[in-house]
Structures are given as C-alpha cells and as structure tokens.
Amino acid sequence: MKAAEFAYARALSVADAVALLAAAAGEAKLIAGGQTLVPLMAMRLARPALLVDIDGIAELNGIAMVGDTLRIGAGTRQAEIERSGLVGREVRLLALAIGHVGHGQIRNRGTIGGSIAHGDPAAELPLVAVTLGATLLTETSAGAGEISARDFYLGPMTTTLPADALITRIDLPIWRGRVGAGFHEMSPRRGDFALAAAAAQVELDGRGRCRRAVIGVGGAAPTPIACADAARLLEGRTLDDTLIAAAASAAAALTEPASDSHGSAEYRRRLTAVLVARALKDAATMARAVP
Ligand SMILES: Cc1cc2nc3c(=O)[nH]c(=O)nc-3n(C[C@H](O)[C@H](O)[C@H](O)COP(=O)(O)OP(=O)(O)OC[C@H]3O[C@@H](n4cnc5c(N)ncnc54)[C@H](O)[C@@H]3O)c2cc1C
C-alpha cells in the first residue's frame, strides 16, 4: 500500500514546529527518523493531513552531562547514542540497551525522541527511560513543560503527550559510586521487538550491600513497568542468588503479558523472571568490579 495523501512542512526550529502543530489543530504528526511513522503511513494505520519534519532541527540534537544529569536532545540519532563515550561511561544501562533496538540501519535514522514518543511496550528506550525515571522535556506553543517517563505511558502506543506537543529533550539521572547495570531481552530473531525485556541498575555501599536499585520490565504489559517494590527488596542486603530470585519473581508478578503466536502469557511471565534475574546478576557483578 501507499500512504494516503498528506501535506509536508519542514520545521526550522522548535518554535516553528510547535507553531505548525498548533495551527494544524490535531491533524498533524511530527516526523523525526521516520522508522516507525513511515511504515504506519504506508499501511494507512496513520493518516496525518500534515507531516511536520523535525529532522533538521539542530537544537534537538546532542548529548551533554550537566551535573548529575545526562541530557539527550530528542532528535539525537540512536546510532549516535550507541557510539557515545559519555553515554557508555555515565548511563551504562542505556548503552547496554540501545544495541538491541532493531538493526544498525534503523538506529542510523531513528531518534531517541521518536522511540519514546511512539511508546511501543516492547521498545528498549521507553523501558530504560521508565526504569531510570527519566524526565521528558516538552514544548507547545503555550510554553515548556516536563513529565516523568514513569507517568508518560497510558497503554500500547498511547501516551499523555498532547497532540500539539513536541518532546525536546530526555534527561537521565547519572548514578555515581559503585554502580552497575544489566539489560537482557529475548526476541524471536536478532533485531526484532522483544518478547520480554528486563533492565536493572544497582548501587552498592562500601560493604557490598545494595544501597539502591531500580528494575524495569518491557514487552510483558501494556506499558513498560518500573518494578519499585521488587527493587526495594534488595535495599540494604547482599545481592546473592536467593535474593535476586525473589526480586525477579516479584517483578514478574507485576506483568500482564498477552498470549500470541510467539508464546503464551505464562511463558512470558516466566521469561520475565529469568531476564530480570540475569539483568540483576550482571548489574551486581559490574558494581562489584568498581573499586
Ligand atoms: C524493521 C524495524 C525494526 C525495529 N525494531 C525495533 C526494536 O527492536 N526496538 C525498538 O525500540 N524499535 C524498533 N524499531 C523502531 C525504531 O526504533 C524507530 O526508530 C523508533 O521507534 C522511532 O524513531 P523515529 O525517530 O524513526 O520516529 P518517527 O518514525 O519519525 O516517529 C515515530 C512517532 O513519534 C513521534 N515523534 C517523533 N519525534 C517526536 C518528538 N521529538 N516529540 C514528539 N513526538 C515525536 C511521531 O509523530 C510518530 O508518532 C524498528 C523499526 C523497524 C522499521
């Protein structure tokens, strides 16, 4: 199939983009890397009257560390994030996850903002944002706003982002100290969306006990989930196999997986527990290696 007819406008700045969105009164869609929107339009699952192209807006690009925050412009390509030494050093969880997004060719065009705005429940970047409690900075013609990634997702491909809003930046917290991260997913073929995915980050104290932890699960519920109660089980304790297994089962109990041709709901729930345990073990091993 071919896309339905649409008008096209190239925004030259964020102000330009939000003015175009406001004027279109809900009939426009932003296009960034086009890796999701173009196939949806070709299948006529999306039929915007106007495409507002934000791909060339320089102010949406870039990765910078400001204090204990890593700021990533929404238009930054996934491949740039993957190659970034700053991301690799400061937010290891993102560095581990991003190579699982589709294939290299897709990451060359796809943007972090596009993936987070689209909100596929099995997508890696929304999962990292929810797990770490990222802040999404937004802009409309009425002004700037921000929202926690943990409050952003309402259901599959459904978010609280108003139709006239643009995500401009994703702010990720940087953890200092004896910090480790782990990310595991299972997909039918390399590059496919995950059947289930798990993300974890831990910080250890001087005695090797867990000072704080976050756990997130993707692909096993209508939205990515931050498993706060499961992570709390780890605090103040030594991360041994028994404790990790208990936290992994607590995380898996929060899932609401669906059955489909790739696996039953029960399989996905058990898979989630296995993946969370692996992510936590990797995170603990990485943190212990920090002097
Ligand atoms: C074959 C294939 C395999 C893939 N596999 C995976 C995978 O395994 N994991 C995964 O996570 N993704 C996967 N993807 C999707 C890919 O990661 C996309 O790059 C990403 O989902 C969308 O980014 P984009 O920049 O291309 O956004 P676009 O396609 O341009 O836009 C996607 C949506 O986001 C909106 N949008 C874009 N930018 C903004 C913004 N700044 N503010 C507000 N709204 C915005 C658009 O209006 C649109 O609704 C795959 C894609 C393909 C084609």
Per-residue pLDDT tens listing for the chain (291 residues): 789 999 999 999 999 999 999 999 889 999 999 999 999 999 999 999 999 999 989 999 999 999 999 999 999 999 999 999 999 999 999 999 999 999 999 999 999 999 999 999 999 999 999 999 999 999 999 999 999 999 999 999 999 999 999 999 999 999 999 999 999 999 888 878 889 999 999 999 999 999 999 999 999 999 999 999 999 999 999 999 999 999 999 999 999 988 888 889 999 999 999 999 999 999 999 999 998
Measured between alpha carbons, how far is 97 from 290 in angstroms, rounded to an integer? 20
What spacing in Å lies between the alpha carbon of 245 and ligand 1's midpoint? Answer: 34
Q: Indicate which atom in ligand 1 lies nearest the CA of residue 125.
A: 11
What spacing in Å lies between the alpha carbon of 288 and ligand 1's midpoint? Answer: 35
Ligand 1 pocket (Cβ < 6 Å) reads 29-37, 39, 74, 101-102, 106, 109-111, 113-115, 117-118, 120, 123-125, 166-167, 193
pLDDT at 252: 96
From the list 208, 271, 280, the residue with the least C-alpha distance to 247 is: 280
Which residue's CA is the closest to the ligand 1 atom numbered 9? 101
What spacing in Å lies between the alpha carbon of 209 and ligand 1's midpoint? Answer: 38
Cα separations (Å) of 109 from 55, 56, 112, 117? 9, 12, 10, 15
> Phi/psi of residue 82, each to 5°?
-60, -35
Strands 7-10 and 50-53: parallel
Which residue's CA is the closest to the ligand 1 atom numbered 36? 114
Measured between alpha carbons, how far is 125 from 57 in angstroms, rounded to an integer? 21
For each of the domains in the chain, give its residue range(s) and CATH number, in order of start.
7-53 (3.30.43.10), 60-173 (3.30.465.10), 178-288 (3.30.390.50)
pTM > 0.85: yes or no? yes
What spacing in Å lies between the alpha carbon of 236 and ligand 1's midpoint? Answer: 39
pLDDT at 160: 97
What spacing in Å lies between the alpha carbon of 112 and ligand 1's midpoint? Answer: 8
